[in-house]
Amino acid sequence: MKAVRFCDETDFGFGWVRDEFLERCSHALLAEGGVWLVDPLDGDGVPERIEALGDPAGVIQLLDRHGRRCEIFAEELGVPHHLVPRLPIPGVPFELRIVRDRRGWREVALWWPEPRVLVCGDALGTARYYRAREEPLAVHPLLRAMPPRDALRCLSPRHVLSGHGEGVHVGAADALDEALATARSRAPLLVASALRRRTRGASRSRGRSGRS
């Protein structure tokens, strides 16, 4: 098992994130009496937390480009594996929004109208490499030129959960609007931020080498 940090603690579920560059994050959502796992990864204490939340009902994989542990979780728990579903899943109040539908990148977002929860796999994130400067939420670097405005801009979430980085629970609707509206214009700032991080990392490495 891998070490994880639990996050996004709410009355409808929780998340867990790995402390790594990608900051991969998974979620368990309690809806209609069942626990739905979204893009799950394994981790220390995760099975126990899922069991404490309720009976597993299904696994939802939002992105086709990586499967994480979705298939394995579904098999082990004896529940359906919904691979980039396009149609509503029977028995749950989730809506599915098509974010991208191209060869090599097919992705849907999960919208839960009440309690106004938006869950994205790769389209939105809070991981460091997503964000330019102090952005609270950002569009995936490879989608900044064509952000998924049509799929997501009509929503007003209280919570935005992501597959990369912890979720946004304060000012989530404003953060979403800002991320979609400024994705293109702030792309150069993202590059500059990445270069600064790389420079600082190289400087620290040289410093450590000099002390050794």
pLDDT in tens, the chain (212 residues): 789 999 999 999 999 999 999 999 999 999 999 999 999 999 999 999 999 999 999 999 999 988 999 999 999 999 999 999 999 999 899 999 999 999 999 999 999 999 999 999 999 999 999 998 789 999 999 999 999 999 999 999 999 999 999 999 999 999 999 999 999 999 877 765 654 554 444 344 444 444 43
All domains of the chain, ordered by start, with CATH?
Answer: 5-211 (3.60.15.10)
| The predicted structure's pLDDT at residue 190 | 75
| The predicted structure's pLDDT at residue 205 | 41
| The predicted structure's pLDDT at residue 24 | 98
How far apart (Å, rounded) are the C-alpha atoms in residues 177 and 187? 16
| The predicted structure's pLDDT at residue 83 | 97
Expressed in angstroms, the distance from the first to the final Cα of the chain is 33
| The predicted structure's pLDDT at residue 203 | 42
Structural tokens at position 126: 């809070």
| The predicted structure's pLDDT at residue 134 | 81
pTM over 0.75: yes
| The predicted structure's pLDDT at residue 50 | 98
Residue 185 near residue 139, CB atoms below 8 Å: no
| The predicted structure's pLDDT at residue 189 | 76
